[in-house]
Structure formats: C-alpha cells, structure tokens
Structure 1
Amino acid sequence: MMVTLALMTLGALAAAMAPRLMARADWPDREPVLALWVWQCVVAAVLLCCVLAMALSAAAAWESVRSPVFGPAPSAVVDAYALKTYEPWAGPLAVLLACGGAWTAAMLTREVRRTRARRRQRRADLLLRSPRLPGEERGGERLVVLEGDRPQAWWLPGAAPQLAITTAALRRLKGRQLDALIAHEQGHARARHDLLLYCASALAVGFPQVPVFAAFRDQVHRLVELAADDMASRRFGRLAIALALVELNEDRGVFGPCPAQCAEVPQRVHRLLEPAPRLTRGRRLRMTAIAALVPAVPLLVTFIPGLSALA
C-alpha cells in the first residue's frame, strides 16, 4: 500500500515540479542536448511511476496478476509488500492506470499515423513539383530544389530523409550560409528528432492537464532547433547559421514587433551571435549521470521492501 502511494506521490511531484525547475534554470539554452536528455529522463520517471503503481495495485487486487508479477519470489518478499492489506480501491486504481497506458498508446499511434499521412502528402507534393529524372534511383539522402519566390527550406524525416529548398533561398544564401543551413537540417535527420517530437506531442495531446507533458512538448520543439543550430555552427561557424536564419526569415516580419510565438527565431539568432559560455565538461558529465539516475528512483522505491525482506 505504502509503495503504491509513494510511487503516485513521486510521479505527481515530478510532473508538477520539473517544469518549474527547468524554467528557472539558465543552462538549457547553453546545453540543449543535455536539456533534452534531462527532459526525457524526467518523463520516463513519471511514466515508470505509473507503470509500477499499476503493477502493484493489480497484484494486490487480483491473484491472477500477483503470480506473474512476483513469479518465484519467496513468500517473505510477497509479505513485505502487504498486498492483502491494500484498500478496496486497489482494483479501480489499477484499471485507471491501465486505461491511462492504453490512452497513451492510442495517442502515440494516432500521432504517428497523422504524421506519416502528412509526410506522404508532402512527399507526393514534392514529387509532383520535382519529378524524378529517368534512371534516378528511389531512396537515399536527396537535396531537392524547388521553384519558389519565398526563401524556404525544410526536411522530411523518414528512412530516406530529404531536404527541400527553394530557388529563392538559394539566391539569398551563399557559400557557408547555405552549407550551414544544410548541416542544420541534416542534424535534425541524423538525431531523429522526429521520433522525440512524436512522443512529446502524443503525451501533451493525450494528457493536456499534466504540466510536465505540455512543457515537454513545448521545450522539445525549441531545444531540437537549438541543438541543430549548434551542430551546424560547429562545422561552419555561428555567424554563418545566424545569417542564414536572418535571410530565411526577415520577410516574415519576425525581427520586429511580433507575437510571442514568432520570437523564437530572433532569440536563436541572438544566442548564436552572443553565445553564453558552455558548462564545463565535468558539470555536463555529472548532470548527465544524475539525470540518468532519475528513472532509477521509482525502481528503487519499488524494490526496497523486497530487498529488505531478503536481507
């Protein structure tokens, strides 16, 4: 009983406090890859709390679940969890958490299907505007140039990522600026940021009232762009990618008075032109290790009674 309550409390605290702590921190913009790792570990810990609480509640409510969960564990271990003293709401709680898991899976499946449908449509439109030449093979990483009066560039994720760029963008971007833009988009494809975006969107849509999932989605969309900027700047310099962002977006009016949702590009340019010092290598390693331990906390809470009984 106490273990289940501890897990639910731990998950609720993590879901409520993590967004506030990350919002107050001044290092995520300096280390976007590390920030993405921390967010993933926190979300994994919240989900793990729910899964473990569901397993214990179901084991307490139904004998048919208890045997597979505890398997050949000694009776002393089973007794340490005091499953028979669980309140009558153990069964409803297990069902509620199981429904939450099923809903999460359904939201993720829906998000993947919708994204794949949009991707197929965009690839069909791309093929219509830029048909393959006779003898050109399907697949492989391709750069597609399209006629267009508006400077644009975008990538299509998948098994064979494609980068599409308009002729207006090619006229504006020269030399290292164009190379930096291509490196930015390749960074998205190689890091498979699309998978992270799928999961973040599915959780936020499925559970809009959970602060950690909404913050996770918002921060992932921002941090993947910063991470890709850093990938490009390491190869071609910060000035090159900053100028490329300016050339691509200055006609959209984002560098003057604009809604808050359009302020991301000026912030990215400012970050590139006036970079804050990175965290030291030692601090990055410590934070990476600490974040990796966060999902281990629910496991530790769950197994402490059993390990104590064996001691």
Structure 2
Amino acid sequence: MMVPAVLLLLAAVTAVAAPRLLARADWPDREPVVALWVWQCVVAAVLLCCALSMTLSAAGAWQALRGHLFAPAPRGVVDAYALGAAGPWAAATAVALALGAAWSAAMLVREVARARARRRLRRAELLVRAPLLPGEHAGGGRLVVLEGERPDAWWLPGAPPRLVVTTAALRRLEGRRLDAVLAHEQGHARARHDWLLHCSSALASGFPQVPVFAAFRDEMHRLVELAADDTASRRHGRLTTALALVELNEDRGVFGPLPAHQAEVPRRVHRLLAPRDRLSTARRLRLTAAAALVPVVPLLVAFVPGLRALGS
C-alpha cells in the first residue's frame, strides 16, 4: 500500500521543483507557447498524482470500492497493491483528497460563473455605449468601435465574440500599429487564453497556500501576453508591435519609475525591441516531448505494480 504515498510524494516534489526549475530557465520568455505547455503539463501531473492517490487510497479503505475498481483484474494484481493491508490513514487520505477535488471543481465553477457575469455586464454596457443600428442584429459583426478618451482595445469572449476598440485608439494608432494591436487580441482569442486564465485563477484562489498554483496563475497571465505579442510581431514586425504597445499605454503611467506590478509592459516592449534568438526546432520539440512525459510518470507509478504482476 505504498503506491498512494509515493504518488503524494511525487506530487510534492513536482510542485516544489518544477516552478524553481522554470524560474531559473532562460528560455520561457523566448518560447512562451512552449512554456505555457510545460506549465500545463506540470500542473496536470500534480493533479493526476492526487487523483490516483485518492483512488488507490479509497480502494484500500473500502472493500466495496476495491471490488468495483479491480473487478476485471486477476487476483495477483490486487495482491501486488497490498490494498488489504491499508492502515487507518487510507480512508482519511482518500476523504481529504476527495474534498480537495470537490473544492477545485467548485472554484473552477465559481471562476467561470464570475467570468460569465462580468462578460454579461460588459456586453450590457457595450450595448448601451454602442447600440444596434436599425436592421442590425446582435450576432452580426465582430468589431465594435466605442467612443472613449483612453486608447484601448480588448477581446470580449462569448457568443458572439467581440473585438472592441476605442475611438482614442483609432486616432492614436495608425496603419500597421492598429493592425498589430488587433492581431494581439485575436491571438488571445484563437488560443483560448481565457480558459487558461480561468483554470489557473481557480486553483490559485482555491488553494492560496500552495505555491505552485500561485506561480501557475502568475505565469499564465504573463506568458499569454508574450504569446499574443509574438503573434502580432510575426504578422506586423517587432518594432511596429512595440510602438503600438507604447502608444496604447503611454498615458497609463507604466513607463518610468513605477511599481513592480506595473513593469510588465516595459519588459514586453524591451523584449520586442531587443529580441533574443529563438530556440532551435529540435530543442523546442525536445522540451515539448519532455513536458508531455511529466504527467506520464504518475501513471507509471500507479500501474507498474499491476503490470509487473501480470508479467510474472
């Protein structure tokens, strides 16, 4: 009955080591899409460890569940896990992990519900500020122009999605710079970055004492912006995208002496103006494949005893 404990230990090691390794790496800013994938695989591995540990602990604590879970398996497979020797901690572990899973699901539902409420409110405000013209229906057109004194542009997910830009942005941004801003927002939409932000925020708010989830949320917010910047720069050039970022944000006090939480835009501009070489294709593929193997490790830990019993 050591497998559930090993899985929990693996979850703890992954949750501690992976963020530190990624924080020391020099490539995530150069390859934000790969970094997004790596972070998702790390968090998936941690959650998978907990789910498998919960399942095996519950099987060790309750005979009825064990019978259903291992019904098609030979007797030797059941004996390999030593589920009958589970101590009193098995039930407590299973219940604690099940409560954690239920809490995670509740936090995700709450985050999605809040996001939908915010979208409904913003859509209602949008309809007030930009009412439909005679003969125009709500599902038509994806671009909405708003009267506004502050240059701004954002993507509003939903059905139908909307790309909103203010008249101040239209006046300030010309030609390809405006196109770069719109391409940035469209990059968010195509990659469905809103779902990454929802999931990371749900985990971080549900488990504020778990550093890996807080780091996951912070990195998602940062990396999705870098990925969208790269989408815009590939179409319209790095200089054009950097100038568009400057013109869009120069009235918001984010340049010059500023708090750390406002320094992200200047860092993004510097990254566009002084780009570092991308990783080679081979190294990107190696990182992607290695990250995909991280969630496989808990599966191997969970299934190796049974597979070994079948092979003997």
Equivalent residue for 2:56?
56
Deviations 1:83-123 (A, max 9, x none): 11111110011000000000000000000001100010001
Q: Secondary structure at the match of 2:165?
A: strand
Distance 1:238 1:31 in 2: 15
Distance 2:195 2:119 in 1: 13
What's the TM-score once normalised by structure 2's chain length? 0.98
1:138 to partner: Cα distance? 2.3
- Supply the RMSD in Å over aligned alpha carbons: 0.9
Answering whether residue 199 of structure 2 is matched by residue 199 of structure 1, we say yes
Q: Secondary structure at the match of 2:208?
A: coil
Answering whether residue 22 of structure 2 is matched by residue 33 of structure 1, we say no
1:286 to partner: Cα distance? 0.7
Letter in 1 for 2:56: L
Q: Indicate if the aligned counterparts of 1:254 and 1:263 stay in contact, CA closer than 8 A.
A: yes
- Aligned pairs for 1:1-311 (under 5 A) are 1-139=1-139, 142-311=142-311
Distance 1:118 1:178 in 2: 26
Q: Secondary structure at the match of 2:154?
A: strand
Distance 1:58 1:151 in 2: 56
Distance 2:11 2:241 in 1: 40
**Gaps spanning 5+ residues in structure 2: where?**
none
Q: Indicate if the aligned counterparts of 1:140 and 1:161 stay in contact, CA closer than 8 A.
A: no
Distance 1:188 1:122 in 2: 18
Letter in 2 for 1:229: D
Distance 2:159 2:187 in 1: 15
Deviations 1:281-302 (A, max 9, x none): 0000011011001000000000
Larger mean CA deviation between 154-163 and 103-112 belongs to 154-163
| Aligned sequence identity (%) | 73
Distance 2:106 2:252 in 1: 37
1:160 to partner: Cα distance? 2.4
Distance 2:251 2:21 in 1: 36
Q: Secondary structure at the match of 1:165?
A: strand
Q: Secondary structure at the match of 1:26?
A: coil
1:141 to partner: Cα distance? 5.2
Distance 1:282 1:218 in 2: 28
1:16 to partner: Cα distance? 1.2
Letter in 1 for 2:242: A
Distance 1:223 1:93, change over 3 A: same
Q: Secondary structure at the match of 2:291?
A: helix
Letter in 2 for 1:37: W
Q: Secondary structure at the match of 2:114?
A: helix
Q: Secondary structure at the match of 1:71?
A: coil
1:137 to partner: Cα distance? 2.7
Distance 2:139 2:230 in 1: 28
Larger mean CA deviation between 147-156 and 26-35 belongs to 147-156
Q: Indicate if the aligned counterparts of 1:81 and 1:306 stay in contact, CA closer than 8 A.
A: yes
Aligned pairs, number:
311
Letter in 2 for 1:287: L
Larger mean CA deviation between 133-142 and 175-184 belongs to 133-142
Runs (4 or more) in structure 1 with deviation over 4 Å come to none
Distance 1:132 1:68 in 2: 58
Q: Secondary structure at the match of 1:131?
A: coil
1:73 to partner: Cα distance? 0.2
Distance 2:141 2:309 in 1: 56
What's the TM-score once normalised by structure 1's chain length? 0.98
Letter in 1 for 2:83: L
Distance 2:268 2:140 in 1: 30
Q: Secondary structure at the match of 1:46?
A: helix
Q: Indicate if the aligned counterparts of 1:141 and 1:161 stay in contact, CA closer than 8 A.
A: no
Distance 1:293 1:158 in 2: 33
